[in-house]
A and B are shown apart, each in its own frame.
Chain A
Amino acid sequence: MQKQRVVITGMGAVSPYGQGVESLWQGLCSSKTALHSIDSSQIQGLACAIGGMVPPVNAKLISRDFRRTMSPMSIHACLAAWEALEQAGIDRTYIVGNAQGKDTEKAYRVGISMGTTLGSPQALHDFFYEYITTKSVDSVRSTAFFKVMSHTVASNVAMACGLKGRLLAPSAACASGLAGIALAFDAIRYGKETMMLCGGADEFHILTAATFDRMNAASHATEARQASCPFDAKRNGIAVSEGAGVLFIESLDSAKKRGATILAEITGYASNTSARSIAHPDSETMQACMAEALEDAHVQHDDINYINAHATSTPAGDTAEGNAIEGLFGAKAVPVSSLKGHLGHTLGACGALESIACVQMMKESLVLPTLHLENPDNTCGNLLYIQEIQAKYIQHCIKNAFAMGGIYYSLVLSQYKD
């Protein structure tokens, strides 16, 4: 079977830096963190003091008919999807579901593959608050379920964009965003779809921070620079944040036919599972995941110019990933950075937002550093850390997402060459 080449022609982002890819990129290049103080006083004993919230967006750009079933993660994802479609040059009125009365020659069938860790925590909170305090569901809004369901982001974006293609909604914890891209990539390369919106989203809720705290995986630092400092000897856990990242990807044939501007090519990926522990990271499986991704992409180790690590600033996770990278590529062989110091951990969005950052790095020939990395921890391996912005041409890079539950993904992004 002839596999289709798959290219990225549009990107959209809503991040703790604000709305839009340009806002994300400018924030990342500013070397200033988007993290700030949060109020955790409502939960007794919770010590998380730093998080990353998306600044207010104009949700009313989305009509109420669609917005009524959206929690913040879907609102952010919808705005990001519209941005991606616009950059790709896809007029939303010409997507098949919206194309009634339009010239059908111009109608596009578009699918969607967007993940999130779980449905809206706030909607769940509201439902159970009502039920537990009144022993009744009489005052529960009819739209609550559509915010809680695990495919809430993919479904709500599909409705607001009028999509007709397949709808996939991987729930793969903090690898959800990268899983979303990977499943969309497969759908196109195996000829099942031509165009897909893909990525991930998540929204901040204090209970999410508390969940990580119960596993001793959340930072208790009171200043952002200590709360998220991947690979640093003083790192002490995750700073939870939120956002949405969306890519518009299509077959190379489709992009050429439309005359679309190609931003990058997705050349391969791998996903595997570590059944050794549901909670603890597994370096050996991470290394195998990256190796399989290179094989899938037909890219040699020496041709990888940059690795964007998942590294969330947990002691165990960064150590496992760092050793996996050194194990596969060798000591100080490939520039490595994590963007969690800038963004915190955007959970289901991180794979997509950080892939967008990788495409921007490839486009601008710049490598972004790991913000707040001052004293690299030697237990993380002997890595070529990037600690300030560097000019560098990137032909191929790897984006990792290694999530709790033993779900691992590595994606290979490449400069497009005809």
Chain B
Amino acid sequence: MTNEEIAKIVNEALADEFELEAEDLRPDAHIRDDLGLDSLDIVDMVIVIEKAFAFKLPDRALLANIHTLGDIYGLIANLRDVGTISK
């Protein structure tokens, strides 16, 4: 799975769940400030991403440094590299 494919899957999952516009889904988009997600949405964001990549987040502490869409792409890429997510 390439980094581009990861970004595409994340964007599609979030656009569908949170009714976001494609043009707003930039790597530097801040999840709360730019995309408008609040604490309830972020709980659901984890669920839809886990479902999209068919995995379970091994540690919720990994979310502590997630602020932008790019941070999500990076987290998924790291999990791919260590084998948590299928390549």
A64–B19 CB distance below 8 A: yes
> 8 Å CB contacts to A: which residues of B11-63?
18-19, 36, 39-41, 43-44, 47, 50-51, 56
- Tell whether A141 is near chain B: CB-to-CB under 8 Å: yes
Give Cα distance in the complex from A64 to B51, angstroms: 21
Name the one of B36, B41, B47 contacting A139, with C-beta atoms under 8 angstroms: B47
Contact in complex: A141, B19 (CB < 8 Å): no
Q: State the majority secondary structure of interface residues on B.
A: helix
Q: Which residues of A contact B41 (CB under 8 A)?
A: 68, 142
- Set B39, B47, B50: member contacting A141, Cβ < 8 A: B47
CB contacts (< 8 Å) of B51 on chain A: these are: 139
Instruction: Report whether B44 and A141 are in contact in the complex, using a CB–CB cutoff of 8 Å.
Output: yes
Size bin of chain A's contact surface: under 10
When A64-B18, A64-B19 are in contact, do A142 and B56 touch as well, CB less than 8 Å? no
Interface footprint category on B: 10 to 19
| Nearest-neighbor residue (CB-CB) of B47 within chain A | A139
> A138 with B56: in contact, given A143-B40, A143-B44 (CB under 8 Å)?
yes
Q: Tell me the complex Cα distance, A41–B36, Å.
A: 42
Q: Which residue of A lies closest to B20 (CB)?
A: A64
Most buried by B among A138, A141, A142: A142
Interface residues in A28-70 (C-beta closer than 8 Å to B): 64-65, 68
Interface class of chain A by DSSP:
loop
A65 / chain B contacts, CB cutoff of 8 Å:
36
B51–chain A nearest beta-carbon distance, Å: 8
Q: Within 8 Å CB of B50, what residues of A?
A: 139
Cβ-defined contact, B40 with A142, below 8 A: yes
Which listed residue (B19, B36, B44) contacts A142, Cβ 8 A? B44
Min CB–CB distance B54 → chain A (angstroms): 12
The digit string for A68-85, where 1 denotes a CB below 8 A from any CB of B, is 100000000000000000
B38 to chain A, nearest CB (A): 9
Of chain B, the residue at the smallest CB distance from A69 is B40
Which B residues touch A139, using CB under 8 A?
47, 50-51
A20–B14 alpha-carbon span in the complex (Å): 33
From A141, which residue of chain B is reached at the shortest CB distance? B44
Quote the shortest CB–CB distance from A296 to chain B (angstroms). Answer: 43
Residue of A nearest to B46 (CB): A138
Per-residue 0/1 for A172-187: is the Cβ within 8 Å of any B Cβ (1 yes, 0 no)?
0000000000000000
- Which residue of chain A has the shortest Cβ distance to B43 in the bound complex? A142
A residues 134-151 near B (Cβ < 8 Å) are 138-139, 141-143
Closest beta carbon of chain B to A80's beta carbon, Å: 23
Which residue in chain B gives the minimum CB-CB distance to A138?
B56
Q: A138: which B residues are within 8 A, CB to CB?
A: 47, 56
Bound: A193/B18 CA distance, A: 37
Determine the chain A residues whose CB is within 8 A of the CB of B39 once the complex forms: 142
A398 to chain B, nearest CB (A): 44
Q: Which residues of A contact B40 (CB under 8 A)?
A: 68, 142-143
Show 20 A/B contacts (Cβ-Cβ < 8 Å), sorted by A.
A64-B18, A64-B19, A65-B36, A68-B40, A68-B41, A138-B47, A138-B56, A139-B47, A139-B50, A139-B51, A141-B43, A141-B44, A141-B47, A142-B39, A142-B40, A142-B41, A142-B43, A142-B44, A143-B40, A143-B44
A-B interface, 6 closest residue pairs, ranked by CB to CB distance from nearest: A142-B43, A142-B40, A64-B19, A141-B44, A139-B47, A142-B44
In addition to A68-B41, A141-B44, A142-B44, 11 A-B residue pairs with Cβ atoms within 8 Å of each other are A64-B18, A64-B19, A65-B36, A68-B40, A138-B47, A139-B47, A139-B51, A141-B43, A142-B39, A142-B41, A143-B44
